[in-house]
Structure 1
Amino acid sequence: TEETALKSIEKVNGMLLNGKKVYVGRFIPRKEREKELGEKAKLFTNVYIKNFGEDMNEEELKALFEKIGLITSLKIMTKEDGKSRGFGFVAFESPEAAEAAVEQLNGKEIIENKPLYVGRAQKKAERQQELRKRFEQLRLERINRFQGVNLYIKNLDDTVDDECLRKEFAPFGTITSAKVMLDEGRSKGFGFVCFSSPEEATKAVTEMNGRIVGSNPLYVALAQRKEDRKAHLTSQYMQRMNNMRSIQHQMSQYMQPGNAGGYFVPTLPQ
């Protein structure tokens, strides 16, 4: 029950286990945690500043930011020789002051042609999460950009190189890249051609699949991502297995025990 759970939390939370303090709390679903973190992220007091140059000292930086609100701490990061690294942190007493500092000073030009950057100071974990999201977004954009325009060509003649491949597919549209895959300088017998639009790629598949180039008939198809190929192969395998099971089931129905202890196959209806 909830009452028992609360008592367990109260009893165990804060206990020492193998020299380490244990935290026990109510389970919070992931969506709730993310929402809570998002709300907390909006409330910040620590501000990250950069692009103020090497000559500005902490007193000058303080004079610029204390007009916004009460400052609890301020630090310019320095090199080993004591010179400014051009960035630092300002901590305000209230989230309102920190937010106002971002709104009023971000983009302000205190050095000619060098706008000041002022933003919420992020924890390392937050920065890493943001970078992961950005990387994943770029990855998906890259996949979508090539979806339906990249062709896979195999059964290439050994004489076909990048230039020859491009020339063969050029009549169907604008080619952004054409590449024959090599192993120690020799053709591996397959390659890729990327068009500028799905319509061009589709036309090339229709016209070029099966065409003889050199001495070999080409196999041309839309290139698939590794995940898609794996899913397709799995689907084909499952379909074959289902067909085999279906055939075995039908055969077992026809194979019936006979009177002499053997088996006979009944006559199928004509």
Structure 2
Amino acid sequence: MGICPNCGSWIDEGDICGHCGGGGGYDSIDDDELDEFNHYVGRYEYFYRQGRSCSLNGDHSAAIRCYKDALRATYESREKCDMLSAIADEYEAIGDYSSAEEYWMRCCEVERYGRIGDVYKYIADKGGFLYRRDRFGEAIDAYEEALKELDFLKDRYIGLDALKYYARITHYLLDSYFQLGKDVPSQKYHDGLKCAIGKFISSSRIDDETKAYYLSKAAWEVFLDEALTDEALILIDSAIEIHPNPPGNDYNRKAIMWSESSNLKKS
């Protein structure tokens, strides 16, 4: 018996984690540590799932209470950040923006001391909160900080999730410049995204066809989720460049272009 290295759930050797889908090994735990570990992880999992259920059902106040209970039940930096960010989102959902900002600040303090691998996500999500509050100058600062973390990651290895965040950050960073009436440095930040894609292509231990599939999939997801047209096209063009034959790449590009042209006609 051990624990999933991705999410901390119980997992038997050789099994796929039923909670997060992770696999490929696990962290073992001694019998002497079992009771203490179960006390913390079990309570965290319970309250987290309760909070998630409440949030999906629109009961944001109950979700906040559950997430706070989960926060008290863990000592892991990643889990603390997950709960602090979730609480911030729930406060924003009920219009308590001062409390939401307080929890975003606490989340970013934890990540700075914990130095977890995907720190850029929390900083970027804090930027998203500031962007939605029309605090574009502060949003730019947060997005720039998130890009610095991604660039540090890019020097070693960058995965597909990080690429999608890179596209998101780039889009909203440029729009923040636009909202402030400033010159929009599109070339600079789009070149940064292309550089990150290049790092993904060169460092991934998979064949070009699979890389192209993942890039095409990422392009379609960022377009469908948030209509990031320019960034989606950069992703899909990179996929076509390394492996132009799969029809899915060309189909996705045409679908993105068609959707964008339809939206322009409607406006």
Common fold: TM-score over 0.5? no
Tell me which protein shows more strand as a share of its residues: 1
Shorter-chain TM-score range: under 0.3
- The normalised TM-score by structure 2 is 0.17
Specify which structure has the higher proportion of helix.
2
Q: Work out which structure has the larger RCO, using CA pairs closer than 8 Å and 6 or more positions apart in sequence.
A: 1
